[in-house]
Amino acid sequence: MNKQAFSSVVIVMTLCLVIGCANLPQIHKNTNLQRDYFAENGFGEGVAVVQHPAGEYKNGVTYLAYQGPKEDPYVAAYNHATGEWKGPYKAGVSILGKNPRGKIDSHGKPTLIIDHAGYIHIFYGSHGGVLDLHGKNALGDYHSGENKHAVSARPYDISEWVDLDNVSPFGTYNQAIKMENGDLYLFNRHGAHRSDWVYQKSTDNGRTFESPVSFLKHKARADGLGTDSWYPYVSKGVGNQIVVGFDYHFCWNRNAPRNNRGGHSTERKNLYYMTFNTDTNEWHSVDGQLLSIPLTKEEADAKALAFDTGKNWTFNGTTKVDAKGNPHISAYIGEDIGWQIGGPKNARYFRWDGSRWNGNLNNGLPIGRGDFLSSGDNVSFLLSGIDSQTKRTSVRWWESNDAGETFTQGHELLQFKDDWDDRTSNADSLRPKSLSNLDSPGSASSSFIRNAHPDARIIIAEKADGTDYRRMYLVGDNGPVVRRD
């Protein structure tokens, strides 16, 4: 020990004698380890409403999936009784995200569901597949990636994963549903944005899947200006039923006179709804008319239209049914102000009351992303968006007691602190600067976690600028679930 170190020890010992060592600050123990987020390696969007479920609560544990570095899927788990976190573990390797100079794609964000035997499944990695790798896509076009399916090596254990890869490589925007008898349905778009939407069914806990079945048809428009295309949100209905809320994508040809947006844009309009009886394989409109699948634009307009958005553009929210089987649709709707993304979109809500659709474009809900609960005339949206006062991202409830006609601000569960420096945006590098903050809720949100515990309802990815990484939060009625390890 040198002279200086010896002096330090003497000083510390003297201090101990004078004030008592118990009162000395524990300089080697970082008391700031407790944090509101469970991971800092969310990447790109991290999560989104459409790739769902992003998590499931089962036997006292919330299991979560998100997109991490290089667009690979990561899985973490939180034990509600012990407060212990496990992971995140890398659960597979995507072929997206491996070009360090490439744009972040984010279409392959993982979807997670637990089968009847307790194995945890994730589906991830595709933006429509690749002709050279996967051969001809009979149901649509191509873009990139490969849809992959992995399963936990052991039930309820996220530490080791096995590739199954037994689903179509073209599928993107995975949405997984488990029926009460354990049948698994994987819904996705079978290719890039000019493709049918399909489902694949498994009756053996995901070990094998039947061939894809188309339920929404892409086809050239009769006016020659583009292609009919769709964006659905699928969820489990009552009993043997699966329900689908969907909007129509105007996929203009590059040379279409109407088109000034260079072909594909996020122009989507109208809200539609239909149901799938998984016992009879029949599809119906909300008022019981039989639908033929894959559904065409013409038949959708005639039988399945729930709301005509007019000149406004829309973006999918969640669709679900209540205990009576009546459907509720959420969507993000706003004016078309041009370029590729339209304008800012506020959360909107529509419900079928047994004889007609209700809802409006002036319900008081903000720009944000999230999910909702409904019970009788009470509707509660949990949204992550930019607070109009503080200009910071805020995750809060919005409450209605008049069946969703009007909403008012409710409890705030989380507000992002401004402690990630250098918030200059590159997160939305695709957008012109002038638009970059208009439609951005400042964060990305998942749908509600499957069978969510009230303490852990939703995953929020903090969109800190100046980096492609995201802090990942698990948020419930007591705010963010803290992590202390």
Question: Annotated catalytic sites, by residue?
Answer: 107, 173
Nearer to Zn ion, 196 or 371 (CB): 196
Nearer to Zn ion, 2 or 255 (CB): 255
Residue 451 in tokens:
């069978």
Site membership for Zn ion, residue 189 (CB under 5 A): no
Site membership for Zn ion, residue 297 (CB under 5 A): no
Site membership for Zn ion, residue 216 (CB under 5 A): no
Residue 355 has a CB neighbour count (10 Å cut-off) of 7
Site membership for Zn ion, residue 251 (CB under 5 A): yes
Minimal distance in Å, beta carbon 205 to Zn ion? 35
Site membership for Zn ion, residue 193 (CB under 5 A): yes
DSSP 8-state assignment for residue 296: P
Site membership for Zn ion, residue 121 (CB under 5 A): no
Cα dihedral 166, 167, 173, 177 sign: negative
Footprint of Zn ion on residues 381-410 (CB under 5 A)? none
Stretch that binds Zn ion, among 134-142, 190-198, 314-322, 437-445 (CB under 5 A): 190-198
DSSP string, 329-388: EEEEEE---STTT-S--EEEEEEE-SSSEEE-S-S---B-EEEEEEETTEEEEEEEEE-T
Site membership for Zn ion, residue 450 (CB under 5 A): no
User: For the purposes of burial, counting CB atoms within 10 Å of the CB of 375, is it exposed (0-12), middle (13-18) or buried (19 or more)?
Assistant: exposed
Site size toward Zn ion, by CB under 5 A: 3
CA-based radius of gyration for the chain? 24
Stretch that binds Zn ion, among 185-193, 321-329, 361-369, 415-423 (CB under 5 A): 185-193
Nearer to Zn ion, 264 or 348 (CB): 264
The enclosing H or E element of 374 equals strand 369-375
What is the phi-psi region of residue 363: left when phi exceeds 0, alpha when psi lies from -120 to 50, beta otherwise?
alpha
Stretch that binds Zn ion, among 80-88, 193-201, 411-419, 447-455 (CB under 5 A): 193-201
Which residue from 236, 264, 351, 470 is in contact with Zn ion, where contact means CB under 5 A?
264
Q: By the 8 A CB rule, do 358 and 347 touch?
A: no
Q: By the 8 A CB rule, do 290 and 303 touch?
A: no
Stretch that binds Zn ion, among 195-203, 264-272, 336-344, 375-383 (CB under 5 A): 264-272
Minimal distance in Å, beta carbon 264 to Zn ion? 3
Residues that bind Zn ion (CB under 5 A): 193, 251, 264
